[in-house]
């Protein structure tokens, strides 16, 4: 319990909180992670999420994508999404940098956000750049057709596939903002996916207080200021009991 109280104290003393989130913050909303016991990798080959697979067999990727998309669109923000949205309302949040592609932070009300791996509900043509709607893409897939733009280009989701680099402007913003932070959170992420896993390393080098909320070990557990080995929901609920915002 003392650790939750300590986390609350750090939050109260801070006005520029940087939050890095991973799949663990959305599992409580029913969105599966990749590497967990019931994660996507336990049901599907990791190859499906690679850019080479998408280029080779886009329709096969899209069939799975539409299933996951339906799940994402039905999902509601979990306790962690709501907690950080509330902290933003109170003027405490500098930036939320998420590795998730589900849009649940925005659904909770977060505005100061960078989506490092993109957003699965946005689509564009690789050839001409024109945006496409969810409805257009779903219609193609339901008719067993690859989503193709009117210009003939392949329509793709606005996500970063494995094997692709992150968008330079998003990465720059994410790293630049760490330097302004007075508290760094890593929530629901095992901190093994790079370059996002370099963000806490920068926070440590800069001497910024660093809190990890994650069920299970991370490589930074011995280097952080505070490790809360619990679900996001339990952690933010306990922290909230000690906050006087």
Please check whether residues 153 and 232 belong to one and the same domain: no
Q: Which token pair is 79?
A: 């306790």
The pTM assigned to this predicted structure is 0.93
CATH of the domain at 60: 3.30.1600.10
Please check whether residues 109 and 176 belong to one and the same domain: yes
* Structure confidence at residue 196 as a pLDDT band (50, 70, 90): very high
Please check whether residues 182 and 223 belong to one and the same domain: yes
* Structure confidence at residue 244 as a pLDDT band (50, 70, 90): confident
Q: Tell me: pLDDT of 175 over 80.
A: yes
User: Catalytic one among 65, 105, 117, 242?
Assistant: 117
* Structure confidence at residue 238 as a pLDDT band (50, 70, 90): very high
Query: 96, 131, 159 — which closes off a domain?
Result: 159
Please check whether residues 174 and 225 belong to one and the same domain: yes
Please check whether residues 56 and 127 belong to one and the same domain: yes
**Does the annotation count 242 as an active-site position?**
no
CATH of the domain at 239: 3.40.50.1220
Query: How do residues 176-185 score in pLDDT, each as one tens digit?
Result: 999 999 999 9
Average pLDDT, the chain: 94
Proportion of the chain in helix, strand, coil states, percent, rounded to 5: 40, 20, 40
Q: Which token pair is 217?
A: 């070990």
Find the mean pLDDT for residues 65-69. Answer: 91
Q: What pLDDT shows up at residue 45?
A: 73
Please check whether residues 24 and 96 belong to one and the same domain: yes
Question: How do strand 155-159 and strand 210-213 relate by DSSP bridges?
Answer: unpaired
Please check whether residues 128 and 204 belong to one and the same domain: no
Answer for the pair 177, 138: CB distance below 8 angstroms, yes or no. no
Find the mean pLDDT for residues 21-45. Answer: 78
Residue in this structure with the two tokens 């336990």, named with its chain if needed: 42
Helix (H, G, I), strand (E, B) or coil at 93: strand
Domain span holding position 124: 32-74+120-159
Q: Is 224 annotated as a binding residue?
A: no
Please check whether residues 150 and 221 belong to one and the same domain: no
- The DSSP-derived string for 104-172 is HHHHHT--SEEETTEEEEEEEETTT--EE-HHHHHHHHHTT---B-TTSPBEEEEE--BTSPPPHHHHH
Find the mean pLDDT for residues 213-228. Answer: 95
Please check whether residues 171 and 58 belong to one and the same domain: no
Query: 106, 136, 159 — which closes off a domain?
Result: 159
Q: Which token pair is 141?
A: 């897939």
Answer for the pair 101, 115: CB distance below 8 angstroms, yes or no. yes
* Count of domains observed in the chain: 2
Rg, the chain, Cα only: 19
Query: How do residues 93-147 score in pLDDT, each as one tens digit?
Result: 999 999 999 999 999 999 999 999 999 999 999 999 999 999 999 999 999 999 9
- CB within 8 A of 116, min separation 6: which ones? 97, 98, 99, 160, 166, 170, 171, 174, 196
Query: How do residues 74-92 score in pLDDT, each as one tens digit?
Result: 999 999 999 999 999 999 9
CA dist 101 and 32 (Å) reads 12
Please check whether residues 141 and 124 belong to one and the same domain: yes
Q: Is 187 annotated as a binding residue?
A: no
Please check whether residues 85 and 19 belong to one and the same domain: yes
Please check whether residues 212 and 199 belong to one and the same domain: yes
Helix (H, G, I), strand (E, B) or coil at 21: strand
- CB within 8 A of 31, min separation 6: which ones? 23, 71, 72, 75, 100, 102, 104
Q: Tell me: pLDDT of 37 over 80.
A: no
């Amino acid at each position: 319990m003392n650790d939750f109280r300590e986390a609350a104290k750090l939050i109260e003393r801070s006005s520029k909180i940087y939050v890095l989130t991973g799949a663990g913050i959305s599992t409580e909303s029913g969105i599966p992670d990749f590497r967990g016991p019931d994660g996507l990798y336990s049901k599907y080959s990791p190859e499906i999420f690679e850019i080479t697979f998408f280029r080779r067999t886009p329709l096969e990727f899209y069939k799975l994508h539409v299933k996951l998309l339906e799940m994402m669109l039905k999902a509601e923000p979990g306790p962690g999404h709501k907690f950080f949205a509330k902290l933003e309302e109170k003027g405490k949040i500098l930036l939320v940098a998420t590795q998730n592609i589900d849009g649940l932070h925005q659904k909770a009300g977060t505005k100061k956000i960078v989506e490092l791996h993109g957003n699965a509900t946005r689509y564009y043509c690789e050839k001409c750049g024109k945006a496409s709607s969810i409805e257009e893409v779903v219609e193609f897939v339901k008719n067993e057709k690859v989503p193709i733009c009117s210009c003939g280009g392949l329509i793709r989701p606005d996500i970063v596939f494995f094997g692709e680099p992150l968008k330079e402007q998003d990465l720059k913003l994410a790293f630049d903002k760490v330097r302004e932070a007075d508290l760094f959170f890593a929530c629901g992420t095992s901190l093994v996916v790079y370059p996002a896993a370099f963000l806490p390393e920068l926070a440590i080098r800069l001497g910024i207080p660093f809190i990890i909320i994650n069920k299970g070990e991370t490589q930074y557990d011995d280097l952080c200021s505070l490790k809360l080995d619990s679900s996001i929901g339990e952690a933010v609920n306990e922290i909230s009991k000690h906050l006087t915002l």
